[in-house]
Amino acid sequence: MSEPPDSGEPPPELRLTTAEWGLWQAFRNGTEHDLRCGEPELDDPNGDHPWGPERTVRARVIALLLLHGPPPLLGRVSSLHLTGAVVTGCLDLAGGSVEPYFELRSCRFEDEVRMPEARVSTVRFVDCYLPRFDAARLTTEGDLHLPRCSIPEGIKLTDATIGTDLLLNEATVGSGRRTRAIAADGVNVSQELQASLLVTDGQVSLRGAAVGSSLHMFGSVLRNPRGRVALFAPQMTVDQVASFADAGRGNAPQLYGATPPAGTRYDFSTRGGTRWRTKHFECTGGMVLDDGRFGSSLVIENARLEMQRDQELSLRRITTPELTFTPQLPERGLVVLSGASVEKLMDRASSWPQDHRLWMAGFTYSHAIPKEGHFNVRERLQWINAATAEYAPEPYEQLAAMYRNGGEDTNARIVLLAKQRRRRETLPLPGKVWGVLQDWTVAYGYRPAQAALWMAVLWLTGALLFEAHRPPALKDGEAPHWNATLYALDLLLPVISFGQDTAWDPAGGYQWIAAVMVLAGWVLATTVAAGATPLLRRQ
């Protein structure tokens, strides 16, 4: 194919059709070439109605315009705006450098679009039917838009570099004979990656992806019935927020469909003042976000997760200042937070599995705040028990540290007491017996009031006992006036002395009773003092 002459006229051997001739002139003028008939049913690119020659444009003509197009008319900027056409042949721009801006809207492609290793400014396919879109290692200076497109054979964006935004809102993407609907490992998006209301059939792979602003998947539906994982995005980096949540009133996706891009809000409401409806984020298959870095927050909110027993929502070793975790409780599958590091955890009790389908060994957090309803210390302990089929001290210590740092010492002691009781289950029989004794008497030292009560009981018992059986004086004539109450208190208090315990000499069984009271006094008084120390420190 020869290059077009400087006059801007097409090469004669092209034999342009009427539709192609109009596109050629619109390209030079920088205007839209619209081939629609005006009836929505007939203009649907996904419909069954045939489009005749009057709406047919060859892919080679589009490629010629984009790669070696004619000069613009004086005072105009050349660009390709094609609407409502059927494109025959493969649009192949592989390895090419495309300078003009181009946008195709409501077009039907008979063959795949190939743009691997191409360099372009801004690309927009809006509401089009594309059998497949292959743009591995594509480089754009501006946006790549594929909103409302139907792509049954999948999208390939491996190692692509997007200069500004990547838009996949409301697209429907299949995997065809492949396993992946969207293969975008290593994709680099300088600003936002918007994939709200996206519907996929096959795996979405974003391994190692980098997003300079935010990732939005509001109301998207990801399905992979032929594999274990529906969203595979380990080692992903998002500088701000990654959202897997409802598409509703506050976060309706932004859809671009005009030139210049004005943008329109997707309207979830109906006329007449009815309520806005909400579309949930749904994932059928596992979600893997292992080793992800989220600069602002990771939001998994009210999501519907359909998993099999061997599938996971895996958040291993993620790092984020804030994790919002309020999905609908999955009936099957695992939730894994092992090694994750979070500053603030916002969750709800009903979102966590309760039957050892929760793994969080090494999970660290500084604050845990219920986003909906209550999540008291008893429920937090159930949360830990669900995550530890076998005893491990770290989850208890992590939760206790959080309460202690927040000034909730009572809750911290409840957690540490539960830790000792759980540990007791792993001990041999002598250790269990001793543990039960410690628990029953002083609650392992975590309930000072219980120790104080035991001291009061022993004091009263000892006072009554020694009042009825006064011991003889150690030295006749030198003993103070006998006081059974002070004598029993002298035996119990390890430091303070009222001079009674050193003046009287119990014998026989009462000597052993006195010895037991001294030992019990040391243990109980130490427990009471340890419990009172934090209160005195705060005051």
pLDDT in tens, 310-365: 999 999 999 999 999 999 999 999 999 999 999 999 999 999 998 889 999 889 99
Domain match, 374 and 340 both: yes
Q: What's the pLDDT at 281?
A: 95
The per-type count for the chain, helices as H runs and strands as E runs, is 10, 42
Q: What's the pLDDT at 376?
A: 87
CA-only gyration radius of the chain, Å:
37
Domain match, 417 and 466 both: no
CA angle, corner 113, sides to 109 and 118, nearest 5?
150
Low-confidence ranges of the chain (pLDDT < 50): 1-5, 255-276, 531-539
**Does any domain span residue 179?**
yes
Domain match, 336 and 420 both: yes
Burial bucket for residue 314 (CB in 10 Å: 0-12, 13-18, 19+)? buried
Q: Are 201 and 153 in contact (CB under 8 A)?
A: no
**Does any domain span residue 125?**
yes
Q: Which long-range contacts (CB under 8 A, 24 or more apart) does 365-370 make?
A: 365/323, 365/341, 365/398, 365/402, 366/342, 366/402, 366/405, 367/343, 367/402, 367/406, 368/344, 368/399, 368/402, 369/344, 369/345, 370/346
Task: Specify which residues 79 forms β-bridges with.
Answer: 101
Domain match, 420 and 342 both: yes
Widest Cα–Cα separation across the chain: 137
**Does any domain span residue 320?**
yes
How many of the other CB atoms lie within 10 Å of CB of 37?
13
How many of the other CB atoms lie within 10 Å of CB of 176?
15
**Does any domain span residue 82?**
no
Domain match, 348 and 462 both: no
CA 235 to chain centre: 13
**Does any domain span residue 6?**
no
Buried residues in 370-400 as b, exposed as e (16+ CB within 10 A):
beeeebebeebbebbbbbbeeebeebbebbb
Element holding 238 (H helix, E strand)? strand 237-238
Domain of residue 156 covers: 88-251+279-424
Q: What's the pLDDT at 266?
A: 41
Q: Are 408 and 376 in contact (CB under 8 A)?
A: no
Indicate the residue among 424, 456, 475 that finishes a domain: 424
Burial bucket for residue 347 (CB in 10 Å: 0-12, 13-18, 19+)? buried
Domain match, 154 and 287 both: yes
**Does any domain span residue 182?**
yes
Domain match, 189 and 290 both: yes
Q: What's the pLDDT at 274?
A: 37
Indicate the residue among 379, 408, 424 that finishes a domain: 424
Q: What's the pLDDT at 534?
A: 44
Q: How far, in Å, CA of 423 to CA of 410, rounded?
A: 20
Domain match, 128 and 226 both: yes
Element holding 395 (H helix, E strand)? helix 393-405
Domain match, 454 and 373 both: no
**Does any domain span residue 2?**
no
Q: What's the pLDDT at 262?
A: 33
What is the domain count for the chain? Answer: 2
Q: Is 255 in a helix, a strand, or coil?
A: strand
Q: What's the pLDDT at 371?
A: 85
**Does any domain span residue 303?**
yes
Q: Are 311 and 253 in contact (CB under 8 A)?
A: no
pLDDT in tens, 95-132: 999 999 999 999 999 999 999 999 999 999 999 999 99
Q: How far, in Å, CA of 260 to CA of 534, rounded?
A: 65
Domain match, 185 and 127 both: yes
Domain match, 199 and 137 both: yes
Domain match, 94 and 185 both: yes
Q: Are 166 and 189 in contact (CB under 8 A)?
A: yes
> Residue 83 corresponds to which tokens in the numbers above?
């609407």
Q: Are 329 and 349 in contact (CB under 8 A)?
A: no
